Amino acid sequence: MFYIHHTACISPQQSFLQVDLERLRESVNNQLRVIEPDYNGIPPGLLRRMGKAVKIGVGAALSVLQEQTAPDGIIIGTANGGMEDCIKFLNQIIEYDEGILAPGNFVQSTTNAIASQLGLLTRNKSYNVTHVHRGLAFENAMTDAAMMIAENPSMNFLVGAVDEISTYNYNIDYLDGWYKKQPTSNVDLYETQTEGSLAGEGAAMFLVNANPESALARVKAVYCLHTEDERVVAAGLRQFIATHSPGQPIDWLVSGENGDRRLNRYYEACEKVLDEDTGICRFKHMSGEFPTASAMALWIACYMLREETIPRHMIKRASGHTKVRNVLIYNNFKSLQHSFMLVT
């Protein structure tokens, strides 16, 4: 598909600039909110008008593009974009009786605000697209980038994903049972065996192209499916491995297991497909659950391939392989949307 050359991630852990994944930052009130940096690359006058999703998305992207020429396209995946600003604007309509409204919240409220703001800041008039597909938004952004690179092998693309914890979406998902009702720490998230997960947010950005020279990693394949049958998911994984990694062992599975006991059957079905020597590590005790969490999983896979080390708190089962060469990512969103990525 394509090669990753630069990447950045703003998350609830120390993943931006000074990376330290060994120390696990604990959740507060069943939420994992990002550690926001100083945003040195964003003009202060513009920064104060930005919503949180736009800030973390633009902040991560500018870090990737800092020493690079302008990309030939900006492709972002998000499920909710600036939903918090959207609700603020709608509340203003009621509060001011449809009178004179502040335009800032409206401008920042659309899902394409991150990609468009990046285009304006970098004066990039090239391909600019936002994919909004709930739990598969980032995967669709990656597929878009792969298709563009196949047609234009000399081009560079910025691909990423952003989602925030908005009051509106948090309350809806909480009432729908997707977040835990009882106080739960991310330290023992996987031992709770209750319904729901912890709310999370984050932004991850990648500069990608078709050039293997000096690349951090290669995304070899992405596959998505919609089903509530774990047997279909397992069959899809078998076909995915047979097609894209024949004869090549999977060294590590980066699992999207999130502490919701209702989803365990999907992850267990996939684990049974893999060899016993395949190590298993989990990441959602670091990020929390949000629609585009798979973008952070890809960032973690790049970290694993580059550093050839994995924080102890992530490991569910140790790998029988001495090196990290092939990493499989499996993510599941609300038991319906499933995706696999093969990163080498």
For residue range 281-307, list pLDDT tens digits in order.
Answer: 999 999 999 999 999 999 999 999 999
At 342 the pLDDT is 98
At 106 the pLDDT is 66
At 265 the pLDDT is 97
Q: Do 146 and 222 touch, CB atoms closer than 8 A?
A: yes
Q: Do 88 and 198 touch, CB atoms closer than 8 A?
A: no
Domain ranges of the chain: 2-209, 217-343
Copy the structure tokens of residue 141: 């952004």
Q: Which residues pair with 341 in a beta bridge?
A: 222, 329
Q: Do 324 and 252 touch, CB atoms closer than 8 A?
A: yes
Rg, C-alpha atoms of the chain = 19
Answer yes or no: pTM beyond 0.75: yes
> Which of 3-17, 89-103, 141-155, 197-211 has the lowest average pLDDT?
89-103
Q: CATH second-level architecture of 217-343?
A: 3-Layer(aba) Sandwich (3.40)
**2-209, CATH topology level:** Peroxisomal Thiolase; Chain A, domain 1 (3.40.47)
**190: helix, coil or strand?**
helix
Mean pLDDT to the nearest integer, 45-68: 88
**Number of continuous H segments (helices) and E segments (strands) in the chain:** 11, 13
Give the span between the Cα atoms of 147 and 144, in whole angstroms.
5
Question: How distant, in Å, are the alpha carbons of 45, 70, 182 from that of 118?
Answer: 15, 11, 39
Helix axes 137-151, 294-307, angle to 10 degrees: 60
Please choose, from the candidates 328, 340, 338, the residue with its C-alpha nearest in 3D space to the C-alpha of residue 229. Answer: 338
At 207 the pLDDT is 97
Strand ranges in 43-126 using DSSP code E only, listed in sequence order: 73-77
In this predicted structure, the answer to whether residue 129 has a pLDDT above a threshold of 60 is yes
In this predicted structure, the answer to whether residue 143 has a pLDDT above a threshold of 90 is yes
In this predicted structure, the answer to whether residue 262 has a pLDDT above a threshold of 90 is yes
